[in-house]
């Protein structure tokens, strides 16, 4: 009797970090390595960890191939286990060696040696009395996961293993994936920006509370928002004459036009002007009182979006707003980004005045904690809880078939939980 299994343990060093951090590429390589050896693939299960690292396994009829990568160390640990005599694990290893193109060490261990084990003669598994249906080659179940992860919190979404869009610019990495539960997902630097299923929560709340309050908006500036969701909501207002979208990274617009048409559909509207530029520089040079509404539709305060959370930036916005102008900006999560949330609120109050800054909360199911905030700052005395017409809102919601925003939600979103009030009290 020969050993029951052959187990290769391999280490790859000085690999390219980009290869080791690409969960889709790793999964495909592991699947191809199994097939190269003639193995029968049953399923694959792979996770990407933010900001880096991939862990996964390909289950084969003859056992498995597994991997864990450390891109920050340019290191990968791989094991290939095969049972029986039909599959040679070294063929899989040779395939992966070409994929990684790196230094390596590898050893084979014999598993289930005959002098250590004895076959049972009493165990008999139950047999099926009949087979139902047509028997064909097994269908491979791909179980690949995208994970948006911090040091204390993570959200994972399963996707089909394919990367629909992947471009790294001088600013960031932009990707689009197709998830099973939330449809297509736009990720920047492995952080979820929006998904098809719940993007309306964010974009409707970013636009409609301000538009239903002001009533006379003609000229709008959107900083960020290259996915097109905020522009789509603004175009629903016939009173708007011009929408200027300033996006720093053209790849975001390209990705959305190619793969998220429901968001990007109005980026080509005749009222919309797209400028590829730094929004911070743009607003600094803007003419005083040139916009009725400014929307800051940026990502978390890292990378190119870091400057969107500074006091100078919001002073420039106030200068660019008309006398009754309104600012809407995303304010992070009070549950997850308390210090940033509070600091932004303090900054806006110091610029616009204590009574002219209003915080609203809404459900963002794929953002950290699921509770997200927007902050509204007004140059006039308009109050978003008092100076609205609920009948007008109801008619607008019905006509435009909004998915999230309505008149009752408008008022209630500005009613803050006690713990959030305590964060902002006397600040």
Residue ranges, CATH 3.60.90.10, the chain:
5-113
3 state SS of 71: helix
The answer to whether residue 207 scores a pLDDT higher than 70 is yes
153-180 pLDDT tens trace: 889 999 998 999 999 999 999 999 999 9
Say yes or no: domain 5-113 is CATH 1.10.510.10: no
| Separation between Cα atoms, residue 141 and residue 138, nearest integer Å | 9
| Separation between Cα atoms, residue 295 and residue 254, nearest integer Å | 21
Catalytic residue among 79, 227, 266, 297: 297
Question: What superfamily would CATH give domain 199-424?
Answer: Vaccinia Virus protein VP39 (3.40.50.150)
Residues of the chain with pLDDT > 70, as a percent, come to 93
The answer to whether residue 128 scores a pLDDT higher than 70 is no
Q: Is 88 a catalytic residue?
A: no
| Angle of the 338-352 helix axis to the 311-320 helix axis, nearest 10 | 40
| Separation between Cα atoms, residue 175 and residue 221, nearest integer Å | 25
Structure tokens at 118: 């004895």
| Mean pLDDT confidence for 186-214 | 96
Residue ranges, CATH 3.40.50.150, the chain:
199-424
The pTM (predicted TM-score) of the whole model is 0.81
Helical H segments across 13-146, by residue range = 17-20, 23-36, 89-100
- For residue 150, what is the DSSP state? -
Contacts of 28 (CB under 8 A, 6+ apart): 161
Residue 48: pLDDT band (50, 70, 90) is confident
Query: In the predicted model, what is the mean pLDDT of the chain?
Result: 92
């Amino acid at each position: 009797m020969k050993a029951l299994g052959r187990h290769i343990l391999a280490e790859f060093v000085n690999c390219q970090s980009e290869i080791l951090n690409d969960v889709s590429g790793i999964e495909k390589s592991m699947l191809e390595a199994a097939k190269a050896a003639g193995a029968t693939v049953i399923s694959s299960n792979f996770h990407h960890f933010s900001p880096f690292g991939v862990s996964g396994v390909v289950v084969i009829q003859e056992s498995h191939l597994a991997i864990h990568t450390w891109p920050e160390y340019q290191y990968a640990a791989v094991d290939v286990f095969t049972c029986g005599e039909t599959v040679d694990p070294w063929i899989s290893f040779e395939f992966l060696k070409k994929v990684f193109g790196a230094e390596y060490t590898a050893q084979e261990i014999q598993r289930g040696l005959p002098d250590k084990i004895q076959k049972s003669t009493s165990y008999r598994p139950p047999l099926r009395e009949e087979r139902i249906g047509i028997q064909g080659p097994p269908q491979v179940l791909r179980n690949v996961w995208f994970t948006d992860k911090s040091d204390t919190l993570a959200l994972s979404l399963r996707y089909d293993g394919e990367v629909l869009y992947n471009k790294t610019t001088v600013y960031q990495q932009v990707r689009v994936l197709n998830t099973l539960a939330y449809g297509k997902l736009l990720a920047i630097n492995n952080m979820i920006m929006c998904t098809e299923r719940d993007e309306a929560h964010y974009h409707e709340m970013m636009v409609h509370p301000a538009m239903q309050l002001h009533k006379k908006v003609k000229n709008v500036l959107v900083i960020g928002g290259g996915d097109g969701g905020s522009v789509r909501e603004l175009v629903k207002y016939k009173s708007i004459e011009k929408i200027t979208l300033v996006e720093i990274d053209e790849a975001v617009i390209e990705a959305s036009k190619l793969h998220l048409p429901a968001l990007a559909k109005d980026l080509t509207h005749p009222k919309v002007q797209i400028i590829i530029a730094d929004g911070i520089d743009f607003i600094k040079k803007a003419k005083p009182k040139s916009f009725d509404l400014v929307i800051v539709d940026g990502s978390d305060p890292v990378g190119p979006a870091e400057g969107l959370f500074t006091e100078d930036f919001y002073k420039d916005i106030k200068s660019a707003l008309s006398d009754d102008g309104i600012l809407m900006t995303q304010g992070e999560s009070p549950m997850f980004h308390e210090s940033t949330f509070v600091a932004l609120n303090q900054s806006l109050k110091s610029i616009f005045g204590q009574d002219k800054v209003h915080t609203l909360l809404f459900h963002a199911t794929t953002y950290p904690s699921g509770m997200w905030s927007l902050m509204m700052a007004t140059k006039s005395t308009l109050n978003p809880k008092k100076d609205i017409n609920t009948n007008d809102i109801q008619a607008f919601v019905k006509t435009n078939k909004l998915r999230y925003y309505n008149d009752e939600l408008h008022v209630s979103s500005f009613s803050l939980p006690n713990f959030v009030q305590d964060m902002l009290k006397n600040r």
